[in-house]
Structures are given as structure tokens and as C-alpha cells.
Amino acid sequence: MIERTLFREEHQIFRESVRRFVEREIVPFHAKWEEDGIVPRDLWLKAGAEGLLCCTVPEEYGGMGLDYLFDVIVFEELWRSGASGPGFLIHTDLVATYLLSFGTDDQKRKWLPKMVSGEAIGSLGMTEPHAGSDLKAIRTRAVRDGDDFVIDGQKVFISNGQLCDFVVLATKTDGNAGANGVTLFIVESDRPGFKRGRNLEKLGMKAQDTSELFFDNIRVPATNMLGKEGRGFPLMMTKLAQERLAQAIRSATVTETVIEWTVEYTSQRSAFGQKIADFQNTQFKLADLKTKATVARVYTDKCISLFMEGKLDPVDAAMAKMFTSELHCEAVDECLQLFGGWGYMWEYPIARAYADARVVKIAGGSIEIMKTIIARQMFAQHGHTLAKSG
């Protein structure tokens, strides 16, 4: 089998530490958190104490200044355990990254040390009820009033929405400027007018709190602006490749994991006088999935390397996200079938993995958006600009 070559000895030592933490602090309690629809705040503090949050944050801002692979290891070990609950990915890979890339020194010093420790939980507020992938169409408004901005609007499908201490919020500061009217703000959850809606009841990822958020005449100082006024949209675009890479890492990891579960189960379970693994159908199904999973892993790891070199472009990330997401959904479906009736029982991890999987074709940009990005580059290379479809 092809061996992964990304990780050095220090990465492997860290992986063992993360795995022990997950097995001790997450796995025994995850079923209860799924019932609750949320994880406890003290888990974040424990994760921070173990160095699992925001691994790449520089030491000057309270972090360890490690490379991106340390964050990757945390995400992989969470997903390998079947845990969908802790919203560490949004907190670490997106919110902290926005602050590091676009924040002022004061903003970084205020929030990053608390994010590293788990004392402050970050969230990202972009999606609205009528505007999903089309971020230019958001309606949440920020109107300047002296040295402040007054924000009104709402967001939906916001991960960490029930727990967050602040949200990086996409707003419109100029409703007539399209993409050039989008501005990002840091909005603290204890400001008057910040209202959390219901914790949304989802098909899967039930331990991950996902919320509606409402902003009613919230006043924030102009110093809370992240980046420059009217520059929010291009700033968001610069982070899409990283967000889609994270989705690919997740899908590649879960695909490998459910295959392992299924090999183990079919090797032990009998039907019609023989092990399920002895049926040729089982062997062919799993051999097909294993081959695709290996291809997905190699390509995803290549994208990780490109990202760390600053060379991952949006099309490579879109292809990784598209291929791994579709494989993820195929794998959980085929593997659940091999579990038979037990695969449909929530007590079995494969059932929860099946429910958790469906969102991967939507999160981080839908499969259709990924195909559009890829197709546009293909035709552009031949001098043809595709017409926009509605």
C-alpha cells in the first residue's frame, strides 16, 4: 500500500496524544452530546490545555506556531473516531485563519490567545436564509454611524452558533455595490442585540451545534472591522481553497474509516453458513472502495502539500472536494449495506456516519459549484468564457 509521507516523527507523537485525548474525553460522551445537540464548553478548555486548538497560531499570540499538519492531525483523529460534535474545524481552520490573515495586531492579541486556550469560541457568519453559496446576495446590513457601525440582519446554519463568544460576520455596507459592498466585522456575542435562535435539528452531525443568529440594531466600533470596508468578498474568496481542502481531508478520512469498520464487521459476521467477507460481492465492493479511497488520499495529501507551499489553487481544491465528497457518500452507503439491518441502528457508528455524510456535498460549496469552477477553467484554457447559468 502507498505510505503517507507528509508526517514526520513529531507529527506521529502528536497524533498519538490527540488520539488518546479523543478516546478519553470525547468518545465515551459523544452519544449523550448527540442527544443534547451540543458539546459542553469545558471540552474546549480541555482541548486548549492539550494544545489541540489553533496549532498554527504564532507564539506571540499565545499559540505554538506549528505547521498546518498539526491541525490536520486533530481533524483526522476526530473524524476517525466517528465524532462529529466538537466544532474545532470552524474555530481553528477558518475563524483563527481570518484573524491571522486580515486582523489588526490589537484584534489578534485580543482573540487569538483565548481561542488557543479554548476560553473564547469563534464562529463564522456568512450563510443567510436566502443566500447560501451566493455570498454576494447577503442582506445583513452594517450602516456607519459616527465611529460605529449598526448591524441588522440574520444568519443561518452557523456552526458553533450556540457556544460562540464572537462571530466573524459578513455584512453589506453598500447595498448597491454587489461584491464590492461586502465588509467583515468581528461581532461579540455579549453585545446588545445579538440573539441566538434555535439550535437547528439536523439530519446528521447532531452533536455539532448549528444555529440561527439574529442581529438587531447591534452597535460595533469601526475598530471591529476585519480588513477594509468593501473588501470582505475578496477576503472570503482567498479562504475558499483552504475550506474546501478541509472538507476533502474529512471525506478522505471518513471513507478510510468506514471501510475499516466494514472489513472488521464482515470478517466476524456470518450469513448462510459463512462469513460475510467470504462472499464475492463483499470482496468486490470493498476492493472497489479501497482503490478509490487510496486515490482520494494520495490526491488529498498532494493538495495538503500544495497548500503548505502556498500553491493550492481553487480548481485543485474544488476537484479534491468534489471527488472526496462524492466518494464519502458512496462509501457510507455501500458499507452500511454490508452491515445489513444493524447498519440502520443508531448504536452502530456506520449509521451515524451515514447521516453525517450527506452534508459534505453541500458544505464548503455544493458539488454543483465545484463542477462549475472546474468547467470554467477547462474552457478558459481554450479561450472560451462560459455563460453564467441561473
| Helix/strand/coil percentages in the chain, nearest 5 | 55, 15, 30
d(CA 25, CA 221): 39
Topology of domain 9-119 in CATH is Butyryl-Coa Dehydrogenase, subunit A; domain 1 (1.10.540)
pTM: 0.95
Tell whether domain 124-232 is in CATH 3.40.630.30: no
Confidence at residue 68, expressed as pLDDT on a 0 to 100 scale: 98
Is the pLDDT at 131 greater than 90, yes or no? no
Q: What is the full DSSP assignment across 221-262?
A: EGGGEESSTT-HHHHHHHTHHHHHHHHHHHHHHHHHHHHHHH
CB 79 within 8 A of CB 17: no
User: Per-residue confidence at 85, pLDDT binned at 50, 70, 90?
Assistant: confident
CATH assignment of 239-380, among 1.20.140.10, 1.10.287.3240, 3.50.50.60, 3.90.480.20:
1.20.140.10
**Tens-place pLDDT, residues 163-197:** 999 999 999 999 999 899 999 999 999 999 999 99
d(CA 154, CA 125): 9
Confidence at residue 238, expressed as pLDDT on a 0 to 100 scale: 94
Q: What is the dihedral of CA 142, 231, 105, 115, to 10 degrees?
A: 70
Is the pLDDT at 389 greater than 90, yes or no? no
**∠ CA 71-81-23 to the nearest 5 degrees?**
90
Q: Looking at residues 208-236, what average pLDDT do you find?
A: 97
Confidence at residue 136, expressed as pLDDT on a 0 to 100 scale: 80
Percent of the chain past pLDDT 90, that is, above it, reads 93
Q: Looking at residues 375-385, what average pLDDT do you find?
A: 92
**375: amino acid identity, one letter:** A
d(CA 149, CA 167): 15
Is the pLDDT at 223 greater than 90, yes or no? yes
Is the pLDDT at 222 greater than 90, yes or no? yes
User: Per-residue confidence at 27, pLDDT binned at 50, 70, 90?
Assistant: very high
Of residues 156, 151, 152, the one with CA closest to residue 129: 156
All structural domains of the chain with their residue ranges: 9-119, 124-232, 239-380
CA atoms 192, 194, 199, 200: torsion sign = positive
The single residue of 35, 243, 256, 260 carrying the catalytic annotation is 243
CB 124 within 8 A of CB 95: yes
Q: Looking at residues 64-71, what average pLDDT do you find?
A: 98
Q: Indicate if 264 belongs to the active site.
A: no
CA 184 to chain centre: 19
- Phi, psi for 183 (deg, rounded to 5): -135, 140
**Tens-place pLDDT, residues 254-278:** 999 999 999 999 999 999 999 999 9
Is the pLDDT at 134 greater than 80, yes or no? no
Is the pLDDT at 251 greater than 70, yes or no? yes
Confidence at residue 130, expressed as pLDDT on a 0 to 100 scale: 86
Query: Across the strands, what pairs with 220?
Result: 149
